[in-house]
Amino acid sequence: MALLSARPGRALWIDVARGGAILAMIAYHFSFDLTFFGFTDWPVAFHPLWRGFAASIASTFVFAAGVSLVYAHGGGIRWRSFLTRLAVIAGCAALVTVGTMLAMPAPIYFGILHAIALFSVLALPFLRAPPWQILAAAALVLAAPSVLTSPAFDGPWFYPLGLAARHPVTFDYEPIFPWFGVMLIGVAVGRLIPRPAPDKSGYRVAGRPLRLVAAAGRNSLAIYIAHQPLLFGLLMLTVMAIGWLS
């Protein structure tokens, strides 16, 4: 089956990490949707454990994007490939913004896709830097909200920074500070762990379950865009059906 076949030039561990994250995100969004439609009363948007779960998912995506950026462009930026991928991610981010403006009470203006698109550009100068310099920059970015947060950054123009004293109300928000630090950690790891040779990618020895997760990781963007409209639509139809039958 082509979907599960070995993939020359790809690192199985990154595909599996991204695949695990997309499956976890589907579970999180399904839980959120169940609460949104009144099927459950889980505090998905507010409880620290749920918020921690969401943050771990987002961190995995951003970290994996950093590693992948090094694997794809660490030997020299392939501009056509980079700009094509950037345009796709930015376009999908715009779709998320428009979709949530139409369907949700709190639109997503700077969510995970917006972050990965911007961070991919910001990370380019670090792709060939020594890992210790990248990790030092990551530490500064991660620490910035603790020392630079100010009401001066509350205006909408500073929304991507994440330094406002009062964060905007939204369901998905990964601003530069501190989330770009996670991307830089991924870049540093990509510099420290070389891209595996095709015969050592891990795909040749991986079992079917692991390959299925990796396949989800290779197609995570398409799954991300499609899964929430499908879940939301199915639950909406369920609510309508219950209303008709009652």
Q: How far is CA 10 from CA 78, 127, 203, in A?
A: 16, 18, 9
Region 121-137: mean pLDDT is 97
What is the number of domains present in the chain? 1
Q: What is the pLDDT of residue 8?
A: 59
Residue range(s) defining the domain that contains residue 26: 2-245
Q: What is the DSSP string of 27-83?
A: HHHHHHHHHHTTS----TTT-HHHHHHHHHHHHHHHHHHHHHHHHHHTTS--HHHHH
Region 212-230: mean pLDDT is 94
Region 55-80: mean pLDDT is 96
Region 54-75: mean pLDDT is 96
- Look at residue 142 and tell me whether its pLDDT is greater than 90: yes
Q: What is the pLDDT of residue 10?
A: 81
What lies within 8 Å, CB to CB, of 145 at 6+ separation is 162, 163, 177, 178
The encoded tokens of residue 118 equal 């911007």
What burial class does residue 242 get, using C-beta atoms within 10 Å of its C-beta: 0-12 exposed, 13-18 middle, 19+ buried?
A: exposed
The encoded tokens of residue 127 equal 């792709």
Radius of gyration of the CA atoms of the chain, in A: 19
Torsion on CA atoms 106, 115, 45, 17, rounded to nearest 10: 150
Tracing tokens 């290779």 back to the chain, one arrives at 218
